[in-house]
Amino acid sequence: MSNVNAHRAIQLFDEIADQLRQHVIFSDQEDADAITLWIGGTYLMDKWDIWPKLYIFSPERECGKTTLLTVIEAFVKKGQMAGSITPSALYRIIESSQPTICIDEADRFLNQNDELNGIINAGHTRRTARKILSHKNKEGNWEAVSLSLWAAQAIAGIGSQSDTLMSRSIKVALRRKALSETVKKMDFNFFEQQKQVRHRLELWARDNGKVFANLEVVPPSICSDRAVDNWKPLFQIASSIGGHWLEKVKTAYKTIEDKRRDQ
């Protein structure tokens, strides 16, 4: 990457992280850096063998989960918000358009839905991200149809989810803001306002997509093998961006995994 392109990439990711911090109160500032790298990775889904979920949680209501999902939706590739989703709707929308699914209020319905959990969990690795079902063709005969489950998913809810989902996730903790803290009010057309940022991310991904195949970057082994696998793509993205993002990803990794290892 040329010095000019490297500067543009650093500036782009800095801008996104800044927007996240303007609108949301995080338990740790490093959460915004991890989310920013995750956002960039949604434009490179054809490059990953493993892609982590982003699980956003808080101990109670009104901690900014919906606001954060709304900001994320505005930056990711093909963002699609959902206050609820059925298993069949999830695998059909993934097969048709491979959006980035932003699922809100998961505490209301996800823990009790084994089929939906299974579909989400299967999408953790590209190799397992398939659903095979029976479908009646035009001749009236039943045939097996294979559908993709490979898509990025950001999920928000109160408290934790199943162990299988949590182990496949980068875990982001929110809290209520203190009386002394303020956040920037989000305009109703925030999504439309970020069109140019999404275009810049598309250009960044197009220009750097070939780089990732040759980036042998492995996070330090300070936690489980699953967590190392989850963070490896974020380390690769940070290495591609360069500059202070190398240190940012290391700090975010240590902060988040140390604090939320048992959550």
Tokens in use for 176? 């209520």
Q: What is the pLDDT of residue 251?
A: 96
The mean predicted confidence, pLDDT, of the chain is: 91
pLDDT in tens, 107-131: 888 988 999 999 999 999 999 999 9
| Structure confidence at residue 263 as a pLDDT band (50, 70, 90) | low
Please check whether residue 186 is in contact with residue 27, taking contact to mean a CB–CB distance below 8 angstroms: no
Does 212 score more than 80 pLDDT? no
pLDDT in tens, 57-91: 987 787 889 999 999 999 999 999 999 899 999 99
Q: What is the pLDDT of residue 197?
A: 98
pLDDT in tens, 179-208: 888 889 889 999 999 999 999 999 999 998
User: How many degrees, rounded to 5, is the angle at CA 211 between CA 39 and CA 168?
Assistant: 40
Does 23 score more than 60 pLDDT? yes
Please check whether residue 20 is in contact with residue 180, taking contact to mean a CB–CB distance below 8 angstroms: no
Q: What percent of the chain has pLDDT over 90?
A: 70
Does 1 score more than 60 pLDDT? no
Does 261 score more than 70 pLDDT? no
| Structure confidence at residue 7 as a pLDDT band (50, 70, 90) | confident
| pTM for this prediction | 0.93
Q: What is the pLDDT of residue 222?
A: 77
Of residues 62 and 18, more confidently modeled: 18
Q: What is the pLDDT of residue 262?
A: 56
Q: What is the pLDDT of residue 174?
A: 92
Q: What is the pLDDT of residue 6?
A: 81
Q: What is the pLDDT of residue 204?
A: 95
Q: What is the pLDDT of residue 66?
A: 93
